[in-house]
Amino acid sequence: MCVTVINYKAGNLTSVLKALRHLGAETIVTDGDLALVEAAERIVLPGVGHFQATDRLDATDLTGAIRTAIARGVPFLGICVGMQWLYAGSSEAPNQPGLGHFAESCTHFAESPEKVPHVGWNSLEVRKDSRLLAGVEPGEYVYFTHSYKAPVTADTAAVTYYIEPFASAVERGNVMGVQFHPEKSGATGLKILGNFLKWKDVE
């Protein structure tokens, strides 16, 4: 099993690669080999930091290659900013479009006495038919660190509560995203990454 990990120079890939390899996956890292991405078996788009950094995906035309792979049915997982990128955009960088696979946009947490960023371990309310989050029981926790978040919609696979309910995971067919860091979420996170690695088209 082989995972193509996209490097768009936003933060650090070490933890994600380590977790995927720990689960027995082979990893290929690319920052612009379009053919490799189009032919990928599975794709992970990590990402920490600023939404603006995703402009590199457009500049290198990785966006087009990812779109092609997704259309072919390749399982795709976006993590953190990588999940937010699946939406139309984010108010963090209003002039930088996302992939638009999900029509909505990401926004900053509302003004509140609570601290932002949302940092720490929080729980998930999982949608019953989620394949990515299969086996995640109520009361399991995952690790978050973010200031922007996606809205709760029909594609939301898990809801988390902080200041307001937001989408902590999204899933429609072969396209999945998690706002939290599965690579840093202990046994629960490894279980979720394991589900992604086992994901097969059921058609």
Partner 1 sequence: MITKRIIACLDVHDGRVVKGVQFVDLIDAGDPATQAARHTREGADEIVLLDITATHEGRQTLLDTVRRTARELFVPFCVGGGIRTADDAAQVFEAGADKVSVNSAALKNPKLIDAIGRSFGAQAVVVAIDARRDPDAADPVRDAQVYVQGGRKLAGRRVVEWAREAEQRGAGEILLTSMNSDGMRTGFDCELTAVVSEAVGIPVIASGGAGTVEHFVDVFGRGKADAALAASIFHFGVSSARSLKEELAKAGVSVRLPC
User: Given the rule CB under 8 A, which residues bind partner 1?
Assistant: 10-12, 14-15, 18-19, 22, 48-50, 115-123, 139, 141, 143, 145-146, 161-162, 181, 183-187, 189-190
One of 104, 140, 171, 183 is an active-site residue; which one?
Answer: 183
Question: What is d(CA 102, CA 88) in angstroms, rounded to the nearest whole number?
Answer: 6
One of 92, 101, 181, 203 is an active-site residue; which one?
Answer: 181
Phi, psi of 100 (to 5 degrees): 80, 15
Q: Within 13 Å, how many C-alpha atoms sit on residue 86's CB side?
A: 30
User: What minimum distance in Å lies between the beta carbon of 164 and partner 1?
Assistant: 13
User: What minimum distance in Å lies between the beta carbon of 119 and partner 1?
Assistant: 5
Nearest to partner 1 of 6, 65 (CB atom): 6
The yes-or-no answer on residue 2 being catalytic is no
The yes-or-no answer on residue 183 being catalytic is yes
One of 2, 80, 92, 108 is an active-site residue; which one?
Answer: 80
The yes-or-no answer on residue 181 being catalytic is yes
Distances (CA, A) of 134 to 2, 31, 40, 78, 127: 21, 31, 24, 17, 9
Phi, psi of 107 (to 5 degrees): -135, 165
**Cross-strand pairs, 160:** 166
Give the residue numbers marked as catalytic: 80, 181, 183
